[in-house]
Structure 1
Amino acid sequence: MTSLEDALVAAVGVHRGVAAADLLCLACVELLSVDAAAISLVFDGAHTGTVGASSDRARAYDELQFTVGEGPCLESVSTHAPVLVIDLAADVDSGRWPGYGPALLAHGVGGVYAMPVLVAGEYVGALDLFRNHRQALDGEDLSGAFVAAELAEMPLLDLMAADLQAAIADPDAIAWAELNLITRAEISQATGMLVAQLEVDPAEALVRLRAHAYATNRSATAVARDIMDRRLRLDPG
């Protein structure tokens, strides 16, 4: 292995699950020429959760893909290939990611890169890297991104296998708390409340929740919590 590969492996160390995912994302920011990093979990073409992130800002960038239903992680998983956007503004002008692109530009992001993560022969997530400036991800940075995406397999596998079984066996286990960090349990509960309040089907209720999150520049999870705590009631109209 190269010194960069060694450094990425050493950054994760013996940690597993969410802790390993967060450390890997932090290592990407420290060792690669990127400003933020996150690991997405994707099921059936939908962004299911953020497994790890280098910062709250990185987590917000990643979760925004769930809110608008589009973005680099979804494209990377669906195409089974890296997504390398050097100049996000140019892609937005061309019509790519009409919801996600402008929102990310508003946060000062200039380029975005996603590497698909393969677990047991299935593409189940992506490593998302964000740059404030417009510059190609190449050379050692690109090779390091591929290595990091391979390393992301382990925390994803941890959370999808051992932690899931532990959570099922014991709802009070630490594993359950970890799973709650990446699942959309709160959004599911809030969607159920909207079904009753607005008298709409679950699909429309979820669209309404995500639309409100996008319109108010908040995460879908934050909006869901307000709905559950009855601090927010959406207009039936």
Structure 2
Amino acid sequence: MTTSRRDVRARLGSIVSGSQPGHATADLLCLACVDLLGVDGAAISMVHQGLSRGTYGASGAQSRRVDEYQFTFGEGPCLDAVRTSTAVLVADLDSPHELRWPGFTDATLRDGIHAVFALPIVLASVCVGALDLFRAAPGHLTDDDLAGGMLAAELAALPLVELAADSRSVARDDDYERLGDLDRIEVHQATGMLISQLDVDAAEASMRLRGHAVATGRTASEVAWDIIERRLVLERDPPPDTPGGEGT
């Protein structure tokens, strides 16, 4: 039975108004999207300066993992939705005409997701992330489901407000840092370990971590936990004057 727009608005609004700001409310909002909007998963992704900074809420482990691919590969619909401040609607990732995100698309299809819809989240007139809706079967959202998704994206900004140091100036860099760093702490910790172990800067350490994730078909967070718990040690590059190095 189709849920009316009025009922969708009432259900989503009650979640936000009746809960405390934070991850739990974001998760409940994502779960409601699955119940109400004809999708199989949902996630709220934080984005700052063109980079995925954290999965703020998710309806389940698979949705969190698919959102994580956007950080691992540095590409995906939520990043484009934030960059353009417009919805990115992909009815079939397996279409031969869909060539925008090769790494993200391959990994997402392997996880059994064929349709992705990214809806911008705006806070204090700034696009800070996206609500991602996932569906196993290809196909477009209905007009009612899209309208419900847009409402959910609008409401998704509300749990973030009180987490900023000053909600009236949430667009400041330090506020983004506080919001974005709520998740993927393990990636930051593992990156710090790699800086010391490999004698490289932060950018190189992050690239090594994500590169290993891509090469092994895993997410950056999964690789980070292996590094933190000493199950994985990445090797240093050989010096230029050794066999395999860049010397003459």
Q: TM-score, normalised by structure 1?
A: 0.87
For residues 182 and 100 of structure 2, the distance between their equivalents in structure 1, rounded to whole angstroms, comes to 27
Other-structure match for 1:104: 108
1:89-140 deviation per Cα after TM superposition (whole angstroms, max 9, x unaligned): 116x542101101110111111100000000010001000001111111211
Q: TM-score, normalised by structure 2?
A: 0.83
Runs of 4+ in 1 over 6 A off after TM superposition: 178-181
For residues 38 and 226 of structure 2, the distance between their equivalents in structure 1, rounded to whole angstroms, comes to 37
Other-structure match for 1:30: 35
Q: Does residue 70 of structure 2 align to residue 61 of structure 1?
A: no
1:5-49 deviation per Cα after TM superposition (whole angstroms, max 9, x unaligned): 112212344112111100000000000110000000111110000
Deviates more, 1:1-10 or 1:205-214: 1-10
Deviation at 1:198, TM superposition (A): 1.8
State the SS of the aligned residue for 1:34: coil
For residues 150 and 227 of structure 1, the distance between their equivalents in structure 2, rounded to whole angstroms, comes to 37
Deviation at 1:180, TM superposition (A): 9.2
Return 5+ residue gaps in structure 2 as ranges.
168-177, 238-248
* Contact 2:53–2:180 (8 Å) recurs in 1: no
Other-structure match for 2:88: 83
Q: Does residue 198 of structure 2 align to residue 185 of structure 1?
A: no
* Contact 1:51–1:181 (8 Å) recurs in 2: no
For residues 179 and 87 of structure 1, the distance between their equivalents in structure 2, rounded to whole angstroms, comes to 31
State the SS of the aligned residue for 1:50: strand
For residues 180 and 46 of structure 1, the distance between their equivalents in structure 2, rounded to whole angstroms, comes to 10
Deviation at 1:214, TM superposition (A): 2.2
| Identity score, percent | 50
* Contact 2:75–2:104 (8 Å) recurs in 1: yes
Deviates more, 1:55-64 or 1:224-233: 224-233
Deviates more, 1:46-55 or 1:130-139: 130-139
For residues 181 and 19 of structure 1, the distance between their equivalents in structure 2, rounded to whole angstroms, comes to 16
* Contact 1:190–1:224 (8 Å) recurs in 2: yes
Deviation at 1:4, TM superposition (A): 1.6
Which structure has the larger Rg?
A: 2
The structure whose residues are more often helix, as a share, is 1
Give the direction of change, closer, same or farther, for the CA distance of 1:158–1:218 in structure 2 (3 Å limit).
farther
Residue type of the alignment partner of 1:150: E
Other-structure match for 1:236: 236
Other-structure match for 1:197: 197
The two structures, once aligned, show a CA RMSD in angstroms of 2.1
For residues 133 and 68 of structure 2, the distance between their equivalents in structure 1, rounded to whole angstroms, comes to 13
Other-structure match for 1:207: 207
Residue type of the alignment partner of 1:207: M
Return 5+ residue gaps in structure 1 as ranges.
164-177
Matched ranges for 1:20-169 at <5 A:
20-90=25-95, 94-161=98-165
Residue type of the alignment partner of 1:35: D
Count of paired positions: 222
